[in-house]
Amino acid sequence: MTPPPRERGGFSLCQGIGLYSEYRGAVATLVEIDCRPETVNRKVRDAVTGPRVTRALMVVDAGFAINPPGLDTQMMGGLNDAPAMALTSSLHIKNGIPLEGSWDNYFYTRQWNTPPELRVVVMPSTSDKPSGAGELGVAPAFAAIACAYARATARCRRASRSTMAPSASSRCPSNRPHPSPPPTVLTAPAEEP
């Protein structure tokens, strides 16, 4: 695989994909993330900024979609939760007390961090039974963002030993048996070997 384009400071604009299936439904998510310094360091009054998901496409097959517009908005909600989970939100505890006391200081997705281009495609019904959607859109959106961020910042990707060459696998410091838990917050590019 060709490495992502490198820009100033080792950051770039890259894409990632995430797939997920549950309850007889499936979702594929493709995102583009901008990790260039001019985006990461943009100024928004009283805001925490950073990498931004600039475009997203979600395709969902939920069997028989009882309420397609509701399914569409449910997937949008999942895509709006994912940037926070992958990039900014965390809970800090000191002496057993959470330090984040409100939404003001808990860095969840805000309007300036949502993708300006978002498209959800609800596939035509393929069954006479609904599959349920619940939080079906969160996991693949999170995975797509994490993958795009890893490529944009040249972080070592986690992969199954069966899909990664032994020489590459041995160079990856975070190599664990697949599937491995995703990182909670990624902040800097990896050093070049």
Contact 21, 80 (CB under 8 A): no
* pTM for the predicted model, two decimal places: 0.71
Q: What angle do CA 45, 87, 139 make, to 5 degrees?
A: 130
Residue 183 falls within a domain, yes or no? no
Q: How far apart are CA 130 and CA 17, in angstroms?
A: 25
Residue 18 falls within a domain, yes or no? yes
Q: How far apart are CA 146 and CA 153, in angstroms?
A: 11
Helix (H) or strand (E) segment spanning residue 28: strand 25-34
Residue 58 falls within a domain, yes or no? yes
Residue 177 falls within a domain, yes or no? no
Residue 63 falls within a domain, yes or no? yes
Count of structural domains, the chain: 1
Q: Residue 155's pLDDT is what?
A: 65
Domain of 67, in residue numbers: 8-171
Q: Residue 164's pLDDT is what?
A: 33
Q: Residue 165's pLDDT is what?
A: 35
Burial 49-77 (b: 16+ CB within 10 A, else e): bbbbbeebbbbbbbbebeeeeebbebbbe
Q: Residue 55's pLDDT is what?
A: 95
Residue 51 falls within a domain, yes or no? yes
Q: Residue 39's pLDDT is what?
A: 81
Q: Residue 132's pLDDT is what?
A: 78
Residue 178 falls within a domain, yes or no? no
Q: Please state, in angstroms and as integers, the Cα–Cα distance from residue 65 to each residue in 21, 53, 76, 80, following that order.
A: 15, 27, 16, 21
Tens-of-pLDDT digits for all 193 residues of the chain? 444 455 444 568 899 999 999 888 899 999 999 988 888 888 877 777 788 899 999 999 998 888 999 999 999 999 988 988 888 887 888 999 888 887 777 777 777 778 899 999 999 987 888 887 888 899 999 999 999 999 988 765 454 333 333 333 333 334 333 333 444 344 444 455 4
State the DSSP code for 190: P
Residue 121 falls within a domain, yes or no? yes
In order, the DSSP letters of 74-134 are HHHHHHHHHHIIIII----EETTEES--STTSS----GGGS-SEEEEEEPPP-SSSB---T
The CATH number assigned to the domain holding 15 equals 3.30.365.10
Q: Residue 98's pLDDT is what?
A: 87
